[in-house]
Amino acid sequence: MDIQLNPMPSPASEKADPRQAARSLGKLLRQMQEYDTFLKALQAINTDAMVQKLAVQMRAHQNALQWGRDGDGQHAVELARLEQEIEALPVVQEYRQAEAQIRQIFLAVDEIISREAGVAFAANAKRSGCCG
C-alpha cells in the first residue's frame, strides 16, 4: 500500500490553533475508507459470537497462568490452541488486515506531525504527571 499524506503548508507568521488542527485532522481521518473499514471490522469482532466464546475461554486460561495454576502445562497448551483458532477466524483475519492498513496511515500521520513539530509526536503523546 502506498500512502502519501502531504501536510498543508502554512505561512510562518500564522499561528495555528492546535485544537482546531487536531479536529481537522480527525475529520480527515474519519473520511478515509481505511478508517471506516477498520471501525466496521472492530465492530464485527466485538459482536461475533464465536470470537466472544473463544475470548472467554482464553481469559480463563490466562487467569490460570497468571495465578500459577498450570502445573502440568495444559493451560498454556490450550491457550496457544485457542489463540490459533481465534486468529484463523475470517472475521479476525479481516480485522487484522484493516488494523494493518489503518496503522500504516497513522504511522504516516505521525511521521508528518513529528517532522513538522520537530519532536517524535506519538512517542511523546502520553499523559504525564501524577495521574497518567
The residue written with cell numbers 498454556 in the block is 76
Report the pLDDT averaged over residues 82-97: 98
Tell me, yes or no, whether 23 lies in a domain.
no
- Mean per-residue pLDDT over the chain, rounded: 87
Tell me, yes or no, whether 22 lies in a domain.
no
How far apart CA 82 and CA 92 sit, in angstroms, is: 13
Report the pLDDT averaged over residues 75-88: 95
Quick check: 96 pLDDT over 50? yes
How far apart CA 19 and CA 44 sit, in angstroms, is: 31
How far apart CA 48 and CA 17 sit, in angstroms, is: 41
Structural domain tally of the chain? 1
Tell me, yes or no, whether 130 lies in a domain.
no
Tell me, yes or no, whether 11 lies in a domain.
no
Domain containing residue 62: CATH number:
1.20.1500.10
Quick check: 56 pLDDT over 50? yes
Q: What proportion of the chain, given as a percentage, has pLDDT over 70?
A: 85
Q: How far is CA 79 from the centre of its chain?
A: 23
Q: Tell me the pLDDT band of 21, cut-offs 50, 70 and 90.
A: confident
Domain boundaries, position 106? 33-119
Quick check: 45 pLDDT over 50? yes
Cell of 41: 471490522
Report the pLDDT averaged over residues 59-65: 93
* Burial (CB count within 10 angstroms: exposed 0-12, middle 13-18, buried 19+), residue 51: middle
pLDDT at 13: 40
pLDDT at 128: 65
Tell me, yes or no, whether 21 lies in a domain.
no
Tell me, yes or no, whether 65 lies in a domain.
yes
Report the pLDDT averaged over residues 98-107: 96
Of 85, 98, 102, give the one whose Cα is nearest residue 50.
85
